[in-house]
Amino acid sequence: MTKKNIAVIGAGIVGLSTAYYLQSSLNKVTLYDQYDPGSGTSRGHASVIANYGIPALNQNDVWKNLIKYLFYKNSPLSIKFSYLHKSLPWLIHFLRNCNSISMNFTAEQTANLLKKALPTYQNLLNEIQANDLIVNRGVLYVWINEKEKPTKNQIKIREKNNIEQIYLSKSEILDLEPYLNPNIKGGWYFPKAHHTLNPDKILSKIFIKFKEKNGQFIKEKISHISFINQKFHINSQTYDEVVICCGAFSNTLVKQLEGKSIPLETERGYHLEFQDMQRFLSRPICLVDSGMYLTPLDNCIRAAGTVELAGNSNEINYSRINYIDRGSKRLISELKNYQKTWLGFRPTLPDCLPIIGKSPNHNNLYYAFGHNHLGWTLGPVTGKMITKLINKEESDNQAYKIDRFL
Ligand SMILES: Cc1cc2nc3c(=O)[nH]c(=O)nc-3n(C[C@H](O)[C@H](O)[C@H](O)COP(=O)(O)OP(=O)(O)OC[C@H]3O[C@@H](n4cnc5c(N)ncnc54)[C@H](O)[C@@H]3O)c2cc1C
């Protein structure tokens, strides 16, 4: 196989995995990021390998809750009023996908990726000597308010796509997690779900292995890529192939390379960390009422979640932080003072499917972004898929291609 000179732009979990696999298959890879590798959204999530993660947000009952999302402060989804006009084109497109057909299509296509997520992760962690950073204790969805429990439709879609899920009564939940609020009414258990104990260490180990295999990293924001004589040029470097993995910030380069923007929105999410509190929890718990997770990491309980449509500025909305703090204490009353807060940007397309595949306009340009709530789960699978595409071992799947928005 000819050794190719490849640039990967963006060093989150998607870009790092892509760069690692491409370099491992004997290409010559240069990874670019404006910041240190793995220092963006890919470090602060709920740390769940969510191989049960369907349906996505585009469900047919979203309409019913729209007013609540727009105007209620106590809602897991919030839209900043002054940002509403900017998010409107995406919102309209998203709402058009909130019907049974689209919901089922997104679920099926996502399930196809989720099937491969765990074995791919386990192999990757093996290769980078990080198997001790992933554990299998399942994930619990619990609710306190009966009205908020998962709908029949959600349960049916998971069943249809072979996701293992077990209903647990309140007492069965409290046997598993004795510190949880005794007012919990019930829950669903996903026994095959895993979680990672330290995303920073995993990201850093992927990067170290990439460098050990002679991968190159350049810390630089890429604002322009030129295309001359069938090759790409970034500053003074020439590349045979380019992969864009810039998460929620991918649109600038898409517009420059395709001549058109796509409807990529960012679902902002937050986390708080309760240091040295991990003894109060054995596995990630999602409080469905609040749209948030508590996850036991190796040195803390991390409370992560909520969805905020407010653009990609770094401004923290403390009412969201307070909302997560209240939800954490509602689940485990021992959680007193959080020590750290963090804001991240989930990259989301209106059909809630990622973009993974080749550009329609350039044979040697690839995109890998838009993994919304599942990017930590799907990063390694995506890296593998892009590597197989570039190495011509597999062909594109239409469902994930950028063409659907161009
Ligand atoms: C609160 C919260 C909880 C979550 N929980 C989970 C979970 O439990 N499980 C799960 O699977 N997913 C979860 N997610 C989603 C997951 O975190 C994201 O989908 C994933 O991190 C996206 O990864 P990425 O590599 O695409 O993007 P990023 O991690 O954002 O990486 C993109 C990189 O590109 C760089 N970049 C951007 N533009 C340029 C440029 N022009 N030049 C150079 N570099 C550039 C950025 O600096 C960044 O480092 C959660 C997200 C949030 C916010």
Say how many Å lie between the CA of residue 15 and the centre of ligand 1: 10
Classified as helix, coil or strand, 97 is: coil
Residue 68: its pLDDT value, please?
Answer: 72
Question: Facing residues of 134 across strands?
Answer: 196
Domain 5-405 of CATH type 3.50.50.60: yes
Residue 223: its pLDDT value, please?
Answer: 96
Taking residue 127's Cβ as centre, other Cβ atoms within 10 Å add up to: 15
Could you tell me the CA-to-CA distances from 252 to 231, 246, 371, 401 in Å, in that order? 20, 9, 17, 18
Say how many Å lie between the CA of residue 174 and the centre of ligand 1: 33
Pull the structure tokens for residue 268: 């902002």
Nearest alpha carbon, ligand 1 atom 18: 375
Weakly modelled stretches of the chain, pLDDT under 50? none
**Nearest-atom index, ligand 1, CA of 305:** 1
**Nearest-atom index, ligand 1, CA of 271:** 1
Say how many Å lie between the CA of residue 172 and the centre of ligand 1: 35
**Nearest-atom index, ligand 1, CA of 32:** 43
Residue 80: its pLDDT value, please?
Answer: 85
Q: Are 23 and 128 in contact (CB under 8 A)?
A: no
pTM recorded for the entire structure:
0.97
Report d(CA 116, CA 113) in Å as an integer: 6
Classified as helix, coil or strand, 397 is: coil
Interstrand relation of 241-244 and 194-196 (parallel, antiparallel or unpaired):
unpaired
Interstrand relation of 300-309 and 77-79 (parallel, antiparallel or unpaired):
parallel
Residue of 16, 34, 35, 45 to test ligand 1 pocket, by largest number of atoms within 8 Å of CB: 45
**Nearest-atom index, ligand 1, CA of 253:** 41
Nearest alpha carbon, ligand 1 atom 51: 45
Residue of 134, 346, 378 to test ligand 1 pocket, by largest number of atoms within 8 Å of CB: 346
Helix, strand, coil content of the chain in percent (nearest 5): 40, 25, 35
Residue 2: its pLDDT value, please?
Answer: 62
Share of the chain above pLDDT 90, in %: 91
Q: What is the pLDDT of residues 225-284, one digit of tens each?
A: 999 999 999 999 999 999 999 999 999 999 999 999 999 999 999 999 999 999 999 999
Ordered by start, the domain boundaries in the chain are: 5-405
